[in-house]
Structures are given as C-alpha cells and as structure tokens.
Homo-oligomer: A and B are copies of this chain.
C-alpha cells in the first residue's frame, strides 16, 4: 500500500518545485510614460532586456511587464497604480516619469507643480512599498540633447531630477540616474551640440543607442 503513494508523492513534489520556480521568477513592472510605452516594442529597452535574459538563459528568472502610457505625469501614474501595477503583484516596480511633468508646462500649460510632484511621487512609492514590492527610481533623461545646459527645459529637468536623487538617497531606494548618464554620453558623443539624434530620435524618445544605454543601466539595477 505504501508504494502506491509514490506517484502521488512525485506529482506533489513536482508541483512544489514548479511553484517554487514560479515564485523564483521575479516580476518587474516598468511604470511610466511614452518612453516606457515604446520600451516594449521591438528594439525598445524592455524588449532588449527580454533578449538579454533569453540569451543568458534567465528567462525563467525574470518577467518584464510594460506599464507605460504616453503623456503620463506623476499623478497619472498615481491614478492607475492599483489597476496597472499593484494588481499584477510585482516584485519590483521601476518608476520612470518626469519628462511630461516638466514639458507640458510650456507645451500645454499643464505640467506638474514642483511641490505636487514630490507629494504624488512619495505617495506612489509608499503605496508600492506597502505591498511589499521593491522600487527602483529613474530620473527623467532629456528634452533636447545639447549637453551645455541650453535645452529650454534643462533647468526644470535638473530641479526635478535633483528631487528624485535626494528622495532616493534619503529613503535608501535604488536609483538609475538616466539624466546623468545621458548628459555624460552626450558630452562625449555630441561634439556639435545637436539637440537630437544622439540617444533620442526626437529630443525625448529613445533611438537604438538610447534604448541600449537604458537597458544596460536598468539591468545593473535589477539583475
């Protein structure tokens, strides 16, 4: 009679192992604006991350979910946090936002006040952490690629990026400082001070080099 139970034991063990592997797959949600919405397309930074884990044979260890919507600002993320992020029960949430909060000021008169940006940002992070997920913060990269600080929104991007840097340091949260990385890259690779075509194709959205740089930087933070 005892030996009869061996098949059941095997099945049970398999299920346990499977669920263990399942548990072992880290679910990472990329939460952001159009840059992240485009990130899941072929050649986008999230697609590149998927290629990387496939090449590494790590596809059973990570699951990447894009949750980017064009035009989103910090409070738009807050509004759709529950539905688009928390319901996916992520292990890690990468928050990359800020370009529209700054850009829409001059473009449509609907940017985000500096103090409100911080209030919503903090509320967002706290709600994610309360669910037990890890947070990784990313600074807004560029609106224009001249590295001499003469792109019209440079002052505000620096201001909002500084806020994120200080917040990350103070709360001991992982930070991918895309703004710093982009300016360093442009300083080396943009001798003619072009305002696009270096890491973006239109001053804001990533070209191949941009997607590669971002994928590499984020991989260092999540691997």
Residues of chain A having any CB pair with chain B under 8 Å? 75-76, 78-79, 104-113, 116, 119-120, 123, 144, 148-159, 162
Contact = CB atoms under 8 A, between A and B. Distances in A.
A106 B113 CA distance: 12
- Among A76, A151, A154, residue most surrounded by chain B Cβ atoms (within 10 Å): A154
Given A79-B78, A110-B110, A112-B110, A155 B159 contact: no
- Among A76, A150, A158, residue most surrounded by chain B Cβ atoms (within 10 Å): A150
Given A75-B75, A109-B110, A150-B155, 12 more contacts: A75-B116, A76-B116, A78-B79, A79-B119, A105-B108, A106-B109, A107-B108, A110-B116, A150-B158, A150-B162, A154-B154, A155-B156
A129 to B, nearest CB: 17
Contacts of A112: 110
Given A78-B79, A108-B113, A110-B110, A154 B148 contact: no
Interchain residue pairs A-B with the least CB separation, the first 8: A154-B155, A105-B109, A150-B158, A150-B159, A75-B75, A149-B149, A155-B155, A110-B113
A157 B156 CA distance: 12
Contacts of A107: 107-108
A153 B154 CA distance: 8
A65 B26 CA distance: 47
Contacts of A152: 155-156, 159
Contacts of A123: 79
Contacts of A158: 148-150, 154
A157 B150 CA distance: 8
A26 B119 CA distance: 32
A42 B112 CA distance: 33
